[in-house]
Each structure stands twice: as C-alpha cells, then as structure tokens.
C-alpha cells in the first residue's frame, strides 16, 4: 500500500508541474522592422519649359560664283539675346543610371551684325529665330538629384539682312541642320515637379544663302553669303511629369537595397 501511495504522489507531482509549466508565457522578443529607404524614381515622361540667354558667333564667307573674292572671309560678328523653349523627355532608370530621349524647340531674337571686309559700306546681319534639337541623354542620380550629359541633332532658323550704305537692303531666310552637346543638373522638388539648369553648345556648318539686292550698287544683283554659326545657351527651367503620374495616391519613390 505504501508503494502505491508513493507512486500516486509522484505522478501527481509530475502532472502538476507540467500543468504549471504550460501556464507559463514565453515573453516575445521585440525586433524592430528593418527600415526601407525610398529613393526617387526618374523613370517617367516629362513636359516642361525653360528660359535663358543665347550667345552666337557667325562667320561670313563670300560665295558669289565667278567673283574674284570667292571664298574670301568677310568677317564675323557676335550677338546675344533671350531664348524660351518648350520641351519633353522620357527617362528610364537602371540602378543609379538614367537614360532617355529629349526634344526641345525654342524661340529667340538674338542678332548681331558686322561690316564686310570687302567694303566698309556693306553690312551683314544674322538673327536667330528658332532653335530645335533631338538628343539622347545619360545621367547619374543621387536620389532626387541628377547630373546628365546630352548630345544629338539640331536645327536653326535664321534671318539674314544685307545693307549697302543704307541705300539698298535685302533679306534671306534659311533653316539649317547641325549638332549639339550639353550638360546639366536636375532636382526633383516633388514627385511630379523637377527643376534644372543646363548649358548647351550648338554648331551649324557652312551653307550658302543668296540675297537679291538690286539697290546695293554691286556688279551683280544677287549676292551669296556662307554663314557658319556657333551658339551657346544657358537655361533654367521646370519639368512636369505626364498626367498619369499626377495621382497623389501613387508614389513614385522606389525602395532600394
């Protein structure tokens, strides 16, 4: 009997200890979530505008067929003025690199003139009217700040004027193709708004324009000039993302490891 009593007591102790152990709550160890850092996403299409200053240099060469002075450098002049552009671009971000395609079209009134080397009474003038470009762009982004370089094709619309001693006057216009390169920096103030500063250089090669100048007192009523032009532009502007990205409920920030 004693042995049975001892065995029953031992079983009750074991079962009671197990029940108490089951009632114990293992405390949870709090582990804070690893923060996810969100970076601005430059993959989007933008439209925008800019304003700035334009500086141009034009070199003149005599191109009158049969003229003894054919090919003679007639001098050069500089000009300056304001420019305003409308623009659009689409960009795609790969890691920290951003690639894209951009188009810009602007209006200007920058003009300059010089006295011809052949005659002190003859004045050549060139005025920039329109300036356009289609360029590729590649950049590197530090979150909301982007630096980039660009390059591609360009076109210019110019008006020319030829005056002879104030008595005769003739005009001509042309559109000519060339190339452009540029550098810039852009910052995303909001998910849908960026601002940028940019410097661009344009070059337009040789090409002859003919003036009908019957009152200029020259041997031929038709005067041909070749104008080679280089243009430097400094501009500041704003870009807006396309309407699909204006939804405030849609975040354009992306996590990165």
| Domain residue ranges in the chain | 46-241
The pLDDT value recorded for residue 5 is 52
> pLDDT confidence of 156, banded at 50, 70, 90?
very high
Task: Note the pLDDT tens digit of each residue in 110-138.
Answer: 887 777 666 666 777 778 899 999 999 99
The pLDDT value recorded for residue 47 is 95
Please tell me the distance from the alpha carbon of residue 150 to that of residue 136, in angstroms, as a whole number.
6
User: What does pTM read for this prediction?
Assistant: 0.75
Mean pLDDT of the chain: 78
Contact 39, 253 (CB under 8 A): yes
Contact 55, 78 (CB under 8 A): yes
CATH of 46-241, one of 3.50.50.60, 2.40.30.10, 3.40.1410.10, 2.40.160.20: 2.40.160.20
Query: SS3 of 90, please?
Result: strand
Tokens for 77? 């002049």
Q: Which of 232, 237, 151, 145 minimizes the C-alpha distance to 187?
A: 145
Tokens for 234? 């400094």
The pLDDT value recorded for residue 167 is 58
Predicted confidence (pLDDT) at residue 153 exceeds the cutoff of 90: yes
The pLDDT value recorded for residue 127 is 85
> pLDDT confidence of 64, banded at 50, 70, 90?
low
């Amino acid at each position: 009997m004693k042995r049975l009593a001892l065995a029953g007591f031992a079983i009750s102790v074991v079962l009671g200890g197990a029940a108490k152990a089951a009632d114990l709550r293992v405390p949870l160890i709090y582990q804070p979530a690893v923060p996810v850092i969100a970076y601005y996403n430059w993959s989007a299409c933008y439209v925008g505008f800019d304003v700035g200053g334009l500086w141009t240099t034009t070199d003149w060469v005599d191109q009158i067929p049969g003229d003894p002075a054919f090919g003679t450098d007639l001098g050069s002049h500089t000009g300056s003025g304001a420019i305003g552009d409308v623009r659009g671009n689409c960009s795609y971000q790969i890691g920290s690199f951003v690639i894209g395609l951009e188009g810009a079209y602007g209006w200007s009134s920058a003009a300059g003139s010089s006295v011809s080397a052949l005659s002190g009474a003859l004045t050549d003038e060139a005025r920039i009217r329109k300036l356009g470009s289609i360029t590729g762009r590649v950049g590197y982004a530090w979150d909301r700040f982007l630096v980039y370089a660009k390059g591609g094709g360009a076109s210019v619309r110019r008006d020319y004027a030829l005056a002879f001693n104030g008595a005769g006057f003739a005009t001509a216009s042309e559109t000519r193709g060339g190339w452009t390169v540029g550098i810039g920096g852009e910052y995303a103030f909001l998910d849908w708004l960026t601002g940028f500063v940019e410097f661009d250089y344009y070059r337009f090669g040789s090409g002859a324009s003919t003036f009908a100048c019957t009152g200029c007192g020259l041997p031929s009523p038709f005067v041909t000039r070749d104008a080679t032009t280089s243009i430097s532009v400094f501009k500041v502007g704003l870009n807006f993302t396309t309407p699909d990205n204006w939804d405030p409920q849609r975040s354009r920030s992306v996590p990165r490891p």
